[in-house]
Structure 1
Amino acid sequence: MTTKAVKLGRTELGVGRPKIAVPITGHTQEDIIAQAEKIYPEQPDIVEWRIDFFDDVTSKGLLKNAAVSLRTALKDIPILTTFRTKGEGGETLLSDQEYFDICRNILEFNQTDALDVELYHDTESVKSIVSEASEAGVVTIMSNHDFDKTPEQDDMVDRLVQMEKLGADVAKIAVMPHSTDDVLKLMSATNQAQNTLSTPVITMSMGDLGKVTRLSGEVFGSTVTFATVGAASAPGQIPLTNLRQELDDLKLN
Structure 2
Amino acid sequence: MNTVYIKNLAIGEGKPKICIPICGKTKADILNEAENILKLPADIIEWRADWYEEIFDPAAVGDSLAALRAVIGEMPLLFTFRSVQEGGEKGISPQKYMELAQLVCESGMIDALDVELFMDSKINPMIVDMAHQHQIVIIASNHDFRKTPEKDELTRRMILMDEMGADILKVAVMPKSKTDVLELLSATEEMGRLYTEKPVITMSMGPMGLISRLAGEVFGSVLTFGAGEKASAPGQISARQLEMVLNTIHDNMGGEL
TM-score range, shorter chain: over 0.9
Matched to 1:200, the amino acid is: P
The one of 33, 36, 40 aligned to 1:35: 33
Mapped partners of 2:27, 2:112: distance in 1: 20
Mapped partners of 1:27, 1:173: distance in 2: 25
Q: How many residues align?
A: 251
Deviation of 1:94 (Å): 1.4
Single out whichever of 172-181 and 104-113 deviates more from structure 2: 104-113
Equivalent residue, structure 2, for 1:24: 22
Q: How do 1:139-150 and structure 2 match up within 5 A?
A: 139-150=137-148
Mapped partners of 1:128, 1:94: distance in 2: 17
Say whether 1:200 aligns with 2:199: yes
Deviation of 1:174 (Å): 0.1
Mapped partners of 1:120, 1:169: distance in 2: 16
Preserved CA contact (<8 Å) 1:145 1:173: yes
Mapped partners of 1:25, 1:131: distance in 2: 27
Preserved CA contact (<8 Å) 2:18 2:41: no
Mapped partners of 2:139, 2:229: distance in 1: 24
Q: Secondary structure at the match of 2:226?
A: strand
Deviation of 1:194 (Å): 1.1
Say whether 1:250 aligns with 2:254: no
Q: How do 1:1-253 and structure 2 match up within 5 A?
A: 3-195=1-193, 196-251=195-250, 252-253=253-254
Matched to 1:67, the amino acid is: L
Q: Secondary structure at the match of 2:185?
A: helix
Deviation of 1:43 (Å): 4.1
Matched to 1:19, the amino acid is: K
Return structure 1 stretches of 4+ with deviation > 2 angstroms: none
Preserved CA contact (<8 Å) 2:15 2:217: yes
Runs of at least 5 residues in structure 2 that lack an aligned partner in the other structure: none
Q: Secondary structure at the match of 2:186?
A: helix
Preserved CA contact (<8 Å) 2:115 2:141: yes
Preserved CA contact (<8 Å) 1:10 1:77: no
Preserved CA contact (<8 Å) 1:113 1:139: yes
Q: Secondary structure at the match of 2:234?
A: coil
Q: Secondary structure at the match of 1:198?
A: coil
TM-score by length of 2: 0.96
Mapped partners of 1:82, 1:25: distance in 2: 10
